[in-house]
Amino acid sequence: MIPVILGTVAAGLFLIGRMDRDVKPATGIMAGVLATGLAGGGLLGWLFGPGDFFSRLLLALVVGCLLLACVTDVVMYQVYDFVWWISGAAAAMLLWARLWVTNDVRNGLGILFGLTVFWIVQIWVFGRLYGKADCYAFCVCAAAETGLGMGLELIVTHMVFAFGMLVPVQFISKNITLRGNLKKPVAFIPYITAGFYLLLFFAKIYGEIVVP
């Protein structure tokens, strides 16, 4: 799955480069993307083993899009809409596969209801605290996590992981005011992506992942 992840990033950067000549990610950023992509490919291989190629492919697309969003978020504090269309479609297909396997209308409606509530809270409440792109990243991850059988409590845990990494880093770098606000804006999607990795890791350990 590593070629899919890195290929998604490379194809996205090529397209963005054609659209916007000002996007020139630094070598250090790309080295970080390469390392994270390698880790992501290894993580997906560990999650699903040699089987279930379809689920691994969909998650690889989600991870690749998240890494692409990390690059543009760090470089220019912006994420292009097509990133969320692609990753959202992949996550939706993973979710659909999960609902198809359950074959339980009542359970399926409950899953969709919880996910919809999370989306609404993200966009209408948390959207006022951080950028829309960050909300979309959490929403895409939530759909993928739900597709893997995780409940609302684990989706919220993902947010805890992301903020749990952001706050100490910004505190150490003295980028937090006495009121708890950031002095300078920072890219949040890298923390969201790292939190997504952590959640998959711990969910696998504790048997919370259900492969469609």
Could you list the pLDDT tens digit for every one of the 212 residues in the chain? 788 888 888 888 888 877 776 666 666 677 777 788 888 888 887 777 656 788 889 999 999 999 999 988 888 888 999 999 999 999 999 998 888 766 655 677 778 888 999 999 999 988 878 889 999 999 999 999 998 888 889 999 999 999 999 888 887 877 777 665 677 778 899 999 999 999 999 988 888 776 65
The pLDDT, as a whole number, for residue 108 is: 72
The pLDDT, as a whole number, for residue 163 is: 92
CA separation for the pair 186, 175 (Å, rounded): 9
The pLDDT, as a whole number, for residue 23 is: 61
The pLDDT, as a whole number, for residue 67 is: 92
176 pairs with which residues across the strands? 182
pTM exceeds 0.85 for this model: yes
For residues 65, 170, 154, 126, the Cα torsion angle rounded to the nearest 10 degrees is -80
Q: Which of 4, 10, 101 is nearest to 59 (CA)?
A: 4
Residues 98, 104, 110, 113, CA torsion sign: positive
The pLDDT, as a whole number, for residue 149 is: 86
